[in-house]
Amino acid sequence: MTPEKTTLLVVDDEELICRVLLRDFKNRFDKVLFATRLEEAERILESGEVTDLVCDYNLGEAVPRGTELLEKWRKAYPQIERAVIYTGTDTTKIAPAEWIDSTVSKDLPLRCLLNALLGAEGIADSVGMESIPCRSAASSSR
């Protein structure tokens, strides 16, 4: 039996952040995609291949907050297994919700975001990954 393929979608209005996550996570997922605009993200989600999702909390004016988008997308695309808010906003100000698996600050090392997506066992093979615990102020489990 072939294991399911994993596809990570990163949604952030800052293309540089998307490219950094693409570079650093491409060996952890079968495919990593990114979108800098809401329309791009929804077009990618419609493909039905996204299994993991990282969304910025603040995608700009006139765009719903990442928490609202994750609620909508988790309901519309049940194949999404994990959804994480990645934010420059104070994580304690973002209320936990059942459709958000974790909220991770952009101030934390990238391994903390990877840990939120894959769990500690998913990153244990990387040297030093487990040496400093990640502290995510707002976190919920579904």
Domain 7-123: CATH superfamily is Response regulator (3.40.50.2300)
**Which strand (E) or helix (H) includes residue 56?**
strand 52-56
Domain limits, the chain: 7-123
**Strands 7-11 and 31-35, sheet pairing:** parallel
Q: Is the pLDDT of residue 47 over 90?
A: yes
Higher-pLDDT residue of 129 and 28 is 28
Q: How far apart are the first and last CA of the chain?
A: 27
- Which pTM was predicted? 0.84
- Write the pLDDT tens digit of every residue in 105-139: 999 999 999 999 988 655 544 444 444 456 544 44
